[in-house]
A and B are shown apart, each in its own frame.
Chain A
């Protein structure tokens, strides 16, 4: 239960961090909150040559609103700050709603937005919220400078993302919510603070009978956050809820975990969809 030896490098500046990643690539791992990395080190699931601690890069800890009214969060913004910061509550209520579901207070004190996105756990809250909000993830490297990737394209497979080994995840931008934006967040876990068995993050614009841009993103049901596009198209078209449910059941292919079989997860996902649809003020009909 102790890490294998590694060299510890404290990034002195953004440039320094990029240099270390450029030099070591795959052999270096970034240490942000350490709430996933240190368990992996302790269990020797990873044995990097270099651990690059970015916690002194205060420029990555900022919460900014930008001109168009969106939100720009640095990679080092901690889960707890997202839970309590007033700007988040008004500009990104979905993030505010999701934050208390992440782990436990002591883990939220340290864990970061960037770490969670970089890791891309399939049952984690931030990746699903980022996809639901159509966020953009910013990455930087010595070789390619800065680039932006849509969250919907970033998560590519189980713990696989579009981030290359020499890239630092710099932050995440969330577009401005419009006046008619609405959100829903709920998850089912065996115990408060555990990773979700099944969860759902929803962002939409409009009102019952006139929805647009309805994004239903499930987590804990696949290798990455899963956008239920067929189901959402049915709901936007005004199809009966039962038809949308059938679409959802067809498009989710959950894998069993230690506690829930695939059919049980599909059932739970349908229950969350039902809760969301009702919560957004829509009739369910027929039940």
Chain B
């Protein structure tokens, strides 16, 4: 493997894990988000050789996690995606947030997701979905949220 290959390219092209997307390749959009040793990071800003010996989790490997499942359901219910290009990155970032803070304010959600860009959906629905997932994970009913 060439050292100039970044982690997101290696995942896509060598491992066939194309759930990690590339938007800008300079750190701005968050489509390439993956978790390395637990931390959500930019896959386009880490060289693949730097991931040697570390645990890398992509959106493909996140599906059995209850936090991720709650987020996925809420994203669908709230129409928090359209083309889906950004969605893996949003889900992985939001999952990290909910692990750190099970009851984030809308402001905190917006701030945590500020490094992820979506060009279709609008952030309102995405923030709604994260809020809904958080509420459900805290064991509160999530069905009574009034639609805006």
Contacts and interface: CB of A to CB of B under 8 A. Distances in A.
Interface of A: 1-8, 10, 31, 34-35, 38-39, 41-43, 51, 53, 55, 100, 103-107, 109-110, 191-193
B50 A53 contact: yes
A259 to B, nearest CB: 16
Contact of B2 (A5, A10, A35): A5
Contact of B30 (A3, A104, A191): A104
B93 interface: yes
Contact of B110 (A38, A103, A109, A192): A192
Contacts of A7: 3
Contact of B4 (A41, A100, A191): A41
B63 to A, nearest CB: 21
B40 A39 contact: no
Contacts of A100: 111
B39 interface: yes
A55 B45 contact: no
Nearest to B92: A106
Contacts of B41: 106, 109-110
B78 to A, nearest CB: 22
Nearest 9 A/B pairs, CB to CB: A104-B115, A8-B3, A39-B26, A3-B4, A1-B25, A38-B45, A109-B39, A192-B114, A193-B114
A143 B55 CA distance: 38
Interface of B: 2-4, 6, 9, 25-27, 30, 33, 39-42, 44-47, 49-50, 93, 96-97, 110-112, 114-116
B40 A38 contact: no
A35 B39 CA distance: 15
A192 B109 CA distance: 12
Contacts, number: 85
B116 to A, nearest CB: 8
A107 B4 CA distance: 20
A38 B6 contact: yes
A39 B4 CA distance: 12
Contact of A104 (B46, B49, B114): B114
Contacts of A10: 49
B47 A38 contact: yes
Contact of A34 (B40, B47, B97, B116): B47
Contact of A110 (B33, B46, B96): B46
Nearest to A43: B26
Contacts of B93: 105-106
B5 to A, nearest CB: 8
B112 A39 contact: no
Nearest to B33: A106
A109 B2 contact: no
Contact of B50 (A41, A55, A192): A55
A103 to B, nearest CB: 7
Nearest to B22: A1
Contacts of B111: 100, 192-193
12 contacts: A1-B26, A6-B3, A7-B3, A10-B49, A34-B50, A39-B27, A39-B45, A104-B30, A105-B115, A107-B45, A109-B41, A110-B42
Given A3-B4, A191-B114, 9 more contacts: A7-B3, A10-B49, A35-B45, A51-B47, A53-B50, A104-B115, A106-B30, A107-B42, A109-B41
A5 B27 contact: no
A6 B45 contact: no
A55 B46 CA distance: 12
